[in-house]
Amino acid sequence: MSVTPLHFAADKDPCLDQIERLTHSHTLRKAESLCKLLRYLADHALAQPGVPLKEYQIATEVFGRPADFDPQVDSAIRVQAGRLRLKLLEYYSHEGTADDIIVEMPNGSYSVSFHTREKLRPVVLPQTNFPPPRSADRGTKRWVAAVLVLGLVVAVAVIGVLATELKSARKENRNEVVDSAAIRTFWSQFASGPEAPWVIFSNAAFVGRPETGMRYLDRARDSGDLILDHYTGVGEVLAVHELDQVFNQLKHPILVKRGSLFSLDDARNNDLIFVGSPAENLTLLDLPGSQEFVFKRIETSPHRGELGIVNVHAEPGESTVFYPSNPAQPLVEDYAIVALVRGLDPTRHVMILAGTTTIGTQAAVEYVCAKDSVAELLRLLALPSGAELKPFEALLRVKVTRGVPVGTQLVAVRTRKE
Protein backbone atom coordinates (compact mmCIF):
# COMPACT_ATOMS: atom_id res chain seq x y z
CA MET A 1 0.00 0.00 0.00
CA SER A 2 1.45 3.32 -1.06
CA VAL A 3 0.57 6.43 0.93
CA THR A 4 1.25 10.14 0.62
CA PRO A 5 1.31 12.59 3.57
CA LEU A 6 -1.49 15.16 3.63
CA HIS A 7 -0.89 18.90 3.96
CA PHE A 8 -3.01 19.81 6.98
CA ALA A 9 -3.89 23.37 5.95
CA ALA A 10 -5.42 22.26 2.67
CA ASP A 11 -6.85 18.90 3.75
CA LYS A 12 -8.25 19.50 7.24
CA ASP A 13 -11.89 18.76 6.41
CA PRO A 14 -11.22 15.36 4.77
CA CYS A 15 -9.09 14.42 7.78
CA LEU A 16 -11.90 15.30 10.21
CA ASP A 17 -14.38 13.40 8.04
CA GLN A 18 -12.13 10.35 8.23
CA ILE A 19 -11.96 10.63 12.04
CA GLU A 20 -15.77 10.68 12.15
CA ARG A 21 -15.85 7.63 9.87
CA LEU A 22 -13.49 5.84 12.26
CA THR A 23 -15.36 6.74 15.44
CA HIS A 24 -18.66 5.56 13.95
CA SER A 25 -17.19 2.36 12.54
CA HIS A 26 -18.06 -1.10 13.84
CA THR A 27 -14.48 -1.40 15.07
CA LEU A 28 -14.46 1.69 17.29
CA ARG A 29 -18.00 2.87 17.94
CA LYS A 30 -18.36 0.93 21.21
CA ALA A 31 -14.97 2.08 22.53
CA GLU A 32 -16.00 5.54 23.76
CA SER A 33 -12.73 6.25 25.56
CA LEU A 34 -10.71 5.37 22.46
CA CYS A 35 -12.93 7.56 20.27
CA LYS A 36 -12.42 10.42 22.71
CA LEU A 37 -8.64 9.91 22.55
CA LEU A 38 -8.63 9.66 18.74
CA ARG A 39 -10.59 12.90 18.33
CA TYR A 40 -8.29 14.71 20.73
CA LEU A 41 -5.13 13.49 18.97
CA ALA A 42 -6.57 14.38 15.56
CA ASP A 43 -7.60 17.89 16.63
CA HIS A 44 -4.12 18.47 18.06
CA ALA A 45 -2.36 17.15 14.96
CA LEU A 46 -4.43 19.37 12.67
CA ALA A 47 -4.18 22.47 14.85
CA GLN A 48 -0.51 22.10 15.85
CA PRO A 49 1.22 19.82 13.33
CA GLY A 50 4.59 18.59 14.49
CA VAL A 51 4.05 19.61 18.13
CA PRO A 52 4.42 16.49 20.32
CA LEU A 53 1.94 15.58 23.04
CA LYS A 54 2.92 14.50 26.53
CA GLU A 55 1.36 11.59 28.40
CA TYR A 56 0.48 13.91 31.29
CA GLN A 57 -1.33 16.31 28.95
CA ILE A 58 -3.50 13.50 27.55
CA ALA A 59 -4.20 12.13 31.02
CA THR A 60 -5.45 15.42 32.42
CA GLU A 61 -7.18 16.91 29.37
CA VAL A 62 -8.74 13.79 27.83
CA PHE A 63 -9.33 11.40 30.70
CA GLY A 64 -9.80 13.86 33.55
CA ARG A 65 -6.89 12.63 35.63
CA PRO A 66 -5.94 14.86 38.60
CA ALA A 67 -3.07 17.35 38.50
CA ASP A 68 -0.80 14.99 40.45
CA PHE A 69 -1.05 12.28 37.78
CA ASP A 70 2.27 10.41 37.54
CA PRO A 71 2.91 8.53 34.23
CA GLN A 72 5.67 6.55 35.91
CA VAL A 73 3.17 5.01 38.32
CA ASP A 74 -0.03 4.90 36.26
CA SER A 75 0.18 3.18 32.86
CA ALA A 76 -3.43 3.84 31.89
CA ILE A 77 -2.57 6.24 29.04
CA ARG A 78 0.00 3.87 27.54
CA VAL A 79 -2.58 1.08 27.65
CA GLN A 80 -5.20 3.25 25.93
CA ALA A 81 -2.70 4.31 23.26
CA GLY A 82 -1.79 0.67 22.62
CA ARG A 83 -5.45 -0.26 22.30
CA LEU A 84 -6.03 2.60 19.84
CA ARG A 85 -3.09 1.50 17.65
CA LEU A 86 -4.51 -2.02 17.48
CA LYS A 87 -7.99 -0.72 16.67
CA LEU A 88 -6.63 1.39 13.80
CA LEU A 89 -4.79 -1.65 12.42
CA GLU A 90 -7.93 -3.74 12.77
CA TYR A 91 -10.08 -1.11 11.02
CA TYR A 92 -7.79 -0.72 8.00
CA SER A 93 -7.45 -4.49 7.72
CA HIS A 94 -11.23 -4.96 7.42
CA GLU A 95 -13.69 -2.06 7.19
CA GLY A 96 -11.29 0.56 5.89
CA THR A 97 -9.51 -1.32 3.09
CA ALA A 98 -10.97 1.05 0.48
CA ASP A 99 -10.70 4.33 2.45
CA ASP A 100 -8.79 7.11 0.69
CA ILE A 101 -7.29 8.50 3.91
CA ILE A 102 -5.13 6.43 6.26
CA VAL A 103 -4.84 7.48 9.92
CA GLU A 104 -1.79 6.09 11.68
CA MET A 105 -0.49 6.27 15.23
CA PRO A 106 3.25 5.48 15.18
CA ASN A 107 4.69 3.35 17.97
CA GLY A 108 6.36 5.28 20.77
CA SER A 109 4.41 8.51 20.22
CA TYR A 110 1.13 10.10 21.17
CA SER A 111 0.32 11.59 17.78
CA VAL A 112 -1.60 10.63 14.67
CA SER A 113 -0.66 11.20 11.06
CA PHE A 114 -2.83 11.35 7.95
CA HIS A 115 -1.94 9.92 4.55
CA THR A 116 -3.75 9.48 1.26
CA ARG A 117 -3.85 6.07 -0.27
CA GLU A 118 -2.39 6.19 -3.78
CA LYS A 119 -4.42 4.29 -6.34
CA LEU A 120 -2.32 1.76 -8.19
CA ARG A 121 -2.44 2.24 -11.96
CA PRO A 122 -2.15 -0.73 -14.29
CA VAL A 123 1.24 -0.85 -15.98
CA VAL A 124 1.28 -1.78 -19.68
CA LEU A 125 4.51 -3.51 -20.65
CA PRO A 126 5.78 -3.47 -24.21
CA GLN A 127 5.34 -6.77 -26.00
CA THR A 128 8.56 -8.72 -26.06
CA ASN A 129 9.28 -12.16 -27.44
CA PHE A 130 10.70 -14.16 -24.57
CA PRO A 131 11.97 -17.68 -24.90
CA PRO A 132 9.67 -20.30 -23.35
CA PRO A 133 10.23 -20.72 -19.60
CA ARG A 134 12.48 -23.51 -18.46
CA SER A 135 11.51 -25.89 -15.72
CA ALA A 136 12.97 -24.78 -12.40
CA ASP A 137 15.76 -26.97 -11.20
CA ARG A 138 15.59 -28.71 -7.82
CA GLY A 139 17.80 -26.11 -6.12
CA THR A 140 15.51 -23.26 -7.15
CA LYS A 141 12.45 -25.11 -5.88
CA ARG A 142 14.12 -25.67 -2.53
CA TRP A 143 15.03 -21.98 -2.28
CA VAL A 144 11.44 -20.89 -3.05
CA ALA A 145 10.09 -23.37 -0.49
CA ALA A 146 12.48 -22.05 2.16
CA VAL A 147 11.42 -18.45 1.50
CA LEU A 148 7.75 -19.40 1.81
CA VAL A 149 8.33 -21.24 5.08
CA LEU A 150 10.33 -18.32 6.47
CA GLY A 151 7.61 -15.87 5.47
CA LEU A 152 4.99 -18.02 7.18
CA VAL A 153 7.06 -18.15 10.38
CA VAL A 154 7.47 -14.35 10.38
CA ALA A 155 3.74 -13.83 9.80
CA VAL A 156 2.84 -16.18 12.66
CA ALA A 157 5.31 -14.37 14.93
CA VAL A 158 3.86 -10.96 14.08
CA ILE A 159 0.31 -12.19 14.70
CA GLY A 160 1.45 -13.68 18.00
CA VAL A 161 3.01 -10.39 19.12
CA LEU A 162 -0.12 -8.40 18.20
CA ALA A 163 -2.37 -10.92 19.92
CA THR A 164 -0.24 -10.83 23.07
CA GLU A 165 -0.25 -7.02 23.15
CA LEU A 166 -4.02 -6.90 22.64
CA LYS A 167 -4.59 -9.55 25.32
CA SER A 168 -2.35 -7.69 27.74
CA ALA A 169 -4.07 -4.36 27.09
CA ARG A 170 -7.50 -5.91 27.54
CA LYS A 171 -6.44 -7.70 30.72
CA GLU A 172 -4.91 -4.57 32.23
CA ASN A 173 -7.94 -2.47 31.34
CA ARG A 174 -10.32 -5.15 32.68
CA ASN A 175 -8.46 -5.49 35.96
CA GLU A 176 -8.07 -1.73 36.45
CA VAL A 177 -11.37 -1.41 38.32
CA VAL A 178 -11.15 -4.74 40.12
CA ASP A 179 -7.70 -3.85 41.48
CA SER A 180 -8.77 -0.35 42.56
CA ALA A 181 -9.40 -0.05 46.28
CA ALA A 182 -10.90 3.41 45.66
CA ILE A 183 -13.55 2.04 43.28
CA ARG A 184 -14.43 -0.82 45.62
CA THR A 185 -14.73 1.57 48.57
CA PHE A 186 -16.81 4.13 46.68
CA TRP A 187 -19.32 1.60 45.39
CA SER A 188 -19.27 -0.80 48.36
CA GLN A 189 -22.73 0.20 49.63
CA PHE A 190 -24.22 -0.58 46.22
CA ALA A 191 -22.12 -3.62 45.31
CA SER A 192 -21.97 -5.61 48.55
CA GLY A 193 -25.62 -6.30 49.35
CA PRO A 194 -27.63 -9.35 48.31
CA GLU A 195 -29.83 -7.31 45.96
CA ALA A 196 -28.94 -5.52 42.73
CA PRO A 197 -29.20 -1.70 42.89
CA TRP A 198 -31.57 0.02 40.50
CA VAL A 199 -30.13 2.41 37.91
CA ILE A 200 -32.84 4.94 37.06
CA PHE A 201 -32.11 6.93 33.90
CA SER A 202 -33.98 10.05 32.87
CA ASN A 203 -36.39 10.10 29.96
CA ALA A 204 -38.11 13.45 29.80
CA ALA A 205 -41.70 13.93 28.70
CA PHE A 206 -42.12 15.46 25.24
CA VAL A 207 -45.03 16.48 23.06
CA GLY A 208 -45.08 16.36 19.28
CA ARG A 209 -43.51 13.94 16.88
CA PRO A 210 -39.90 13.54 15.67
CA GLU A 211 -40.98 14.09 12.06
CA THR A 212 -42.92 17.28 12.82
CA GLY A 213 -41.00 18.67 15.79
CA MET A 214 -40.79 17.86 19.48
CA ARG A 215 -40.47 19.98 22.62
CA TYR A 216 -40.48 19.46 26.36
CA LEU A 217 -43.88 18.92 27.91
CA ASP A 218 -45.37 22.05 29.52
CA ARG A 219 -47.93 20.68 31.96
CA ALA A 220 -49.65 24.07 32.24
CA ARG A 221 -50.71 24.01 28.58
CA ASP A 222 -50.07 20.48 27.27
CA SER A 223 -52.13 18.37 29.66
CA GLY A 224 -54.32 17.01 26.89
CA ASP A 225 -51.59 16.42 24.32
CA LEU A 226 -50.03 13.12 23.45
CA ILE A 227 -46.96 12.63 25.62
CA LEU A 228 -43.82 10.90 24.37
CA ASP A 229 -41.62 9.59 27.17
CA HIS A 230 -39.42 7.07 25.38
CA TYR A 231 -36.54 9.35 24.40
CA THR A 232 -33.37 9.89 26.40
CA GLY A 233 -30.04 11.63 25.90
CA VAL A 234 -26.90 10.06 24.51
CA GLY A 235 -25.08 10.88 27.76
CA GLU A 236 -27.51 8.77 29.80
CA VAL A 237 -27.12 5.85 27.38
CA LEU A 238 -23.33 5.91 27.62
CA ALA A 239 -23.54 6.43 31.38
CA VAL A 240 -25.63 3.29 31.92
CA HIS A 241 -23.13 1.34 29.81
CA GLU A 242 -20.26 2.68 31.93
CA LEU A 243 -22.00 1.68 35.18
CA ASP A 244 -22.77 -1.76 33.80
CA GLN A 245 -19.09 -2.31 33.02
CA VAL A 246 -17.97 -1.25 36.50
CA PHE A 247 -20.50 -3.40 38.32
CA ASN A 248 -19.76 -6.33 36.05
CA GLN A 249 -16.09 -6.05 37.05
CA LEU A 250 -17.16 -5.78 40.70
CA LYS A 251 -19.14 -8.99 40.10
CA HIS A 252 -22.42 -7.45 41.17
CA PRO A 253 -25.44 -7.00 38.86
CA ILE A 254 -27.47 -3.85 38.33
CA LEU A 255 -31.07 -3.45 37.22
CA VAL A 256 -31.98 -0.63 34.81
CA LYS A 257 -35.28 1.23 34.68
CA ARG A 258 -36.41 4.42 32.98
CA GLY A 259 -37.57 7.22 35.22
CA SER A 260 -41.17 7.37 33.97
CA LEU A 261 -41.75 3.77 35.10
CA PHE A 262 -40.18 4.23 38.52
CA SER A 263 -42.39 4.16 41.64
CA LEU A 264 -41.96 5.18 45.26
CA ASP A 265 -42.23 1.50 46.25
CA ASP A 266 -39.04 0.97 44.28
CA ALA A 267 -37.45 3.79 46.28
CA ARG A 268 -38.36 2.18 49.61
CA ASN A 269 -37.10 -1.27 48.72
CA ASN A 270 -33.90 -0.69 46.75
CA ASP A 271 -30.59 1.12 46.62
CA LEU A 272 -30.83 3.59 43.75
CA ILE A 273 -28.47 5.22 41.26
CA PHE A 274 -30.12 8.14 39.43
CA VAL A 275 -28.62 9.11 36.07
CA GLY A 276 -29.86 12.53 34.96
CA SER A 277 -31.04 15.75 36.60
CA PRO A 278 -34.44 16.35 38.28
CA ALA A 279 -35.35 18.50 35.27
CA GLU A 280 -35.75 15.26 33.30
CA ASN A 281 -35.61 12.54 35.97
CA LEU A 282 -38.80 13.83 37.59
CA THR A 283 -38.94 11.04 40.19
CA LEU A 284 -36.09 12.79 41.98
CA LEU A 285 -38.49 15.59 42.90
CA ASP A 286 -40.34 13.19 45.24
CA LEU A 287 -37.22 11.85 46.95
CA PRO A 288 -34.57 13.22 49.30
CA GLY A 289 -32.10 14.95 47.01
CA SER A 290 -29.14 17.27 46.98
CA GLN A 291 -29.23 20.15 49.45
CA GLU A 292 -25.96 21.97 48.77
CA PHE A 293 -25.98 21.96 44.95
CA VAL A 294 -29.55 22.21 43.66
CA PHE A 295 -30.83 22.20 40.06
CA LYS A 296 -33.10 25.14 39.29
CA ARG A 297 -34.58 26.92 36.28
CA ILE A 298 -33.35 30.51 36.44
CA GLU A 299 -36.06 33.17 36.28
CA THR A 300 -33.90 36.27 35.90
CA SER A 301 -32.00 37.64 32.91
CA PRO A 302 -29.67 36.98 31.20
CA HIS A 303 -30.19 33.27 32.00
CA ARG A 304 -33.98 33.21 32.11
CA GLY A 305 -35.28 29.72 31.43
CA GLU A 306 -31.86 28.05 31.63
CA LEU A 307 -31.15 25.15 33.97
CA GLY A 308 -28.42 25.99 36.46
CA ILE A 309 -26.95 24.55 39.65
CA VAL A 310 -27.47 26.76 42.69
CA ASN A 311 -24.66 26.77 45.25
CA VAL A 312 -26.88 27.01 48.34
CA HIS A 313 -24.12 27.71 50.87
CA ALA A 314 -21.50 29.37 48.69
CA GLU A 315 -18.14 29.76 50.37
CA PRO A 316 -15.93 32.82 49.86
CA GLY A 317 -14.75 33.06 46.25
CA GLU A 318 -17.38 30.60 44.95
CA SER A 319 -20.14 31.42 42.47
CA THR A 320 -23.72 31.20 43.68
CA VAL A 321 -25.02 29.68 40.43
CA PHE A 322 -23.27 27.57 37.81
CA TYR A 323 -24.50 27.52 34.21
CA PRO A 324 -23.46 25.54 31.12
CA SER A 325 -22.01 27.51 28.21
CA ASN A 326 -24.22 29.76 26.05
CA PRO A 327 -27.12 27.64 24.72
CA ALA A 328 -26.97 29.52 21.40
CA GLN A 329 -23.44 28.21 20.81
CA PRO A 330 -21.92 24.70 20.68
CA LEU A 331 -21.57 23.32 24.21
CA VAL A 332 -18.03 23.76 25.54
CA GLU A 333 -18.64 23.72 29.31
CA ASP A 334 -21.13 22.07 31.61
CA TYR A 335 -21.58 21.45 35.34
CA ALA A 336 -22.65 18.30 37.11
CA ILE A 337 -23.15 16.94 40.60
CA VAL A 338 -22.28 13.68 42.33
CA ALA A 339 -24.28 13.19 45.51
CA LEU A 340 -24.76 10.34 47.97
CA VAL A 341 -27.91 10.69 50.12
CA ARG A 342 -30.09 8.49 52.29
CA GLY A 343 -33.21 7.00 50.73
CA LEU A 344 -36.82 7.08 51.94
CA ASP A 345 -35.78 4.07 53.99
CA PRO A 346 -32.70 5.35 55.87
CA THR A 347 -31.02 1.96 55.45
CA ARG A 348 -31.08 2.48 51.67
CA HIS A 349 -28.64 4.58 49.66
CA VAL A 350 -29.25 6.92 46.73
CA MET A 351 -26.51 8.09 44.35
CA ILE A 352 -27.34 11.07 42.12
CA LEU A 353 -25.21 11.56 38.99
CA ALA A 354 -26.49 14.49 36.96
CA GLY A 355 -25.41 17.35 34.71
CA THR A 356 -27.33 20.33 33.44
CA THR A 357 -27.05 18.66 30.01
CA THR A 358 -26.83 15.05 28.90
CA ILE A 359 -23.07 15.47 28.34
CA GLY A 360 -22.59 16.66 31.91
CA THR A 361 -24.47 13.59 33.13
CA GLN A 362 -22.16 11.36 31.12
CA ALA A 363 -19.12 13.10 32.62
CA ALA A 364 -20.43 12.68 36.18
CA VAL A 365 -20.79 8.93 35.69
CA GLU A 366 -17.39 8.63 34.03
CA TYR A 367 -15.89 10.51 36.99
CA VAL A 368 -17.17 7.96 39.54
CA CYS A 369 -16.17 5.02 37.34
CA ALA A 370 -12.49 6.00 36.96
CA LYS A 371 -10.14 4.95 39.74
CA ASP A 372 -8.00 8.12 39.78
CA SER A 373 -10.90 10.58 40.00
CA VAL A 374 -12.64 8.44 42.64
CA ALA A 375 -9.41 8.33 44.66
CA GLU A 376 -9.24 12.14 44.43
CA LEU A 377 -12.79 12.46 45.74
CA LEU A 378 -12.18 10.05 48.61
CA ARG A 379 -9.06 11.99 49.63
CA LEU A 380 -11.05 15.22 49.82
CA LEU A 381 -13.76 13.49 51.84
CA ALA A 382 -11.02 12.36 54.26
CA LEU A 383 -12.54 8.89 54.49
CA PRO A 384 -10.65 6.73 57.02
CA SER A 385 -9.38 3.38 55.77
CA GLY A 386 -12.10 0.74 55.98
CA ALA A 387 -14.82 3.28 56.86
CA GLU A 388 -18.20 3.47 55.13
CA LEU A 389 -18.79 6.36 52.76
CA LYS A 390 -21.07 8.97 54.34
CA PRO A 391 -23.52 11.29 52.52
CA PHE A 392 -21.80 14.04 50.52
CA GLU A 393 -22.28 16.31 47.51
CA ALA A 394 -19.67 17.26 44.91
CA LEU A 395 -19.77 19.79 42.07
CA LEU A 396 -17.92 19.10 38.80
CA ARG A 397 -16.90 21.39 35.94
CA VAL A 398 -16.91 19.59 32.58
CA LYS A 399 -14.95 20.61 29.50
CA VAL A 400 -16.72 19.57 26.27
CA THR A 401 -15.28 19.25 22.78
CA ARG A 402 -17.50 18.36 19.81
CA GLY A 403 -20.14 16.84 22.04
CA VAL A 404 -17.71 14.73 24.07
CA PRO A 405 -16.65 15.35 27.71
CA VAL A 406 -12.87 15.60 27.52
CA GLY A 407 -11.99 16.87 30.99
CA THR A 408 -13.63 16.99 34.41
CA GLN A 409 -12.53 19.14 37.34
CA LEU A 410 -13.75 18.85 40.91
CA VAL A 411 -14.94 22.33 41.94
CA ALA A 412 -16.31 21.84 45.47
CA VAL A 413 -17.20 19.09 47.95
CA ARG A 414 -19.63 19.23 50.85
CA THR A 415 -20.25 16.60 53.50
CA ARG A 416 -23.75 16.28 54.89
CA LYS A 417 -24.88 15.99 58.46
CA GLU A 418 -27.15 13.02 59.15
59-99 tens-digit pLDDT: 999 998 888 888 877 888 888 888 898 889 888 888 888 88
Asked if residue 10 has pLDDT above 70, the reply is no
- Collapsing DSSP to helix, strand or coil, 417 comes out as coil
Strands 349-355 and 333-342: antiparallel
Helices (runs of H) and strands (runs of E) counted in the chain? 11, 16
Q: For 94-103, 114-123, 231-240, 329-338, which range has the lowest pLDDT when averaged over its residues?
A: 114-123
* Residue scoring higher pLDDT (14 or 50): 14
What is residue 377's predicted lDDT score, i.e. its pLDDT?
94
List the one residue out of 169, 400, 361 whose CA is nearest residue 274: 361
**Torsions phi, psi for 209 (to 5 deg):** -135, 150
Which residues make up the CATH 1.10.10 domain(s) of the chain? 3-117
Confidence band of 156 (pLDDT split at 50, 70, 90)? low
- Collapsing DSSP to helix, strand or coil, 393 comes out as strand
Asked if residue 395 has pLDDT above 70, the reply is yes
In sequence order, which residues have a C-beta less than 8 Å from that of residue 54 and are 6 or more positions away?
A: 110
- Tell me the percentage of the chain whose pLDDT exceeds 90: 33
Confidence band of 145 (pLDDT split at 50, 70, 90)? low
* Residue scoring higher pLDDT (290 or 375): 375
Looking at the domain that runs over 3-117, which CATH code has it been given? Answer: 1.10.10
What is residue 149's predicted lDDT score, i.e. its pLDDT?
56
* Residue scoring higher pLDDT (367 or 207): 367
Q: For 65-79, 122-136, 181-195, which range has the lowest pLDDT when averaged over its residues?
A: 122-136
Whole-model pTM above 0.85?
Answer: no
